[in-house]
Amino acid sequence: DTAVSQTPKYLVTQMGNDKSIKCEQNLGHDTMYWYKQDSKKFLKIMFSYNNKELIINETVPNRFSPKSPDKAHLNLHINSLELGDSAVYFCASSQDVNRKTGNTIYFGEGSWLTVV
Amino acid sequence: GQNIDQPTEMTATEGAIVQINCTYQTSGFNGLFWYQQHAGEAPTFLSYNVLDGLEEKGRFSSFLSRSKGYSYLLLKELQMKDSASYLCAVSLPSGGYQKVTFGTGTKLQVIP
């Protein structure tokens, strides 16, 4: 029944490792996002895809590479992890039919990444 | 750049009313969201305002003034479970799509 699901929920890894976070939505939405929430709880957009096409790419190190095999999935791969990458990563989705109607963003439960 | 400001923390008493303000200066504007986020959980949708005025939804109401770049979230009859962070977010036009940018959030503590 989970609308936006992401795995793993918790991830502890060493500096320099490569890791992936997977995300799937069963809402039939066209747009998916990755947000990062740091220790100060500031929620910042990283990427957005619409129907598998990249539409928003904020200033994010190129160690972060999103991949969208279809419009229901958006995975995040991170290379050469650094201490500063420790954060909560939220996957989300919305239906971009008409921007004036309020395209509510639905968030997954988050993935707590700790780099040691 | 985009600027969205909210107070960092607020404290209010159970049963009371609290108003959380948000001011924004953005290039472009579709509408304004309010989200609630309990500690350790995902943000959940509360409201979306496009037009000026007050929208009421049970104990929660949200107000928008586009000309002033100002919004507030009003919580009535506060309950302990309302202790959470409240995030103001602006939907911006972005190449035919929307880009939702969040403020820093207001952590509300409800005390007995």
Identify the pLDDT of residue B49: 94
* pLDDT-derived band at A69, boundaries 50, 70, 90: very high
Contact check, Cβ <8 Å, B48/A104: yes
Mean pLDDT value across chain A? 91
Q: Is the pLDDT of residue B65 over 60?
A: yes
- Interchain CB contact of B29 with A (< 8 Å): no
Residue B85 contacts by C-beta under 8 Å, 6 or more apart in sequence?
A41, B36, B37, B38, B39, B105, B106, B107, B108
Q: Do the beta carbons of residue B45 and residue B28 sit within 8 Å?
A: no
- pLDDT tens digit string along A33-54? 999 999 888 899 999 998 888 9
Identify the pLDDT of residue A98: 53
Identify the pLDDT of residue B35: 97
- pLDDT tens digit string along B72-105? 999 999 999 999 999 999 998 887 788 899 999 9
- pLDDT tens digit string along B4-49? 999 999 999 999 999 999 999 998 899 999 999 999 999 999 999 9
> What's the rounded Cα separation, in Å, for the pair B91 and A1?
27
Identify the pLDDT of residue B93: 85
What six digits make up the tokens of B70? 């100002």
CA distance B32 to chain A (A): 8
- pLDDT tens digit string along A73-103? 999 999 999 999 999 999 999 986 554 556 8
* pLDDT-derived band at A1, boundaries 50, 70, 90: low
Mutate to test the interface with B, among A5, A31, A49, A105 (most CBs of B within 10 A): A105
Identify the pLDDT of residue B82: 98
- Interchain CB contact of A40 with B (< 8 Å): yes
Q: Which DSSP string corresponds to A53-114?
A: EEEEE-S--TTEEEEEEETTEEEEEE-S--GGG-EEEEEEEE--S-GGG----EE---EEEE
Going by their DSSP bridges, the two strands A111-115 and A10-13 should be labelled as parallel
Q: Which residue type does A31 have?
A: T
How many CB pairs (< 8 A) connect A and B?
67
**Percent of chain A topping pLDDT 90:** 73
Mean pLDDT value across chain B? 94
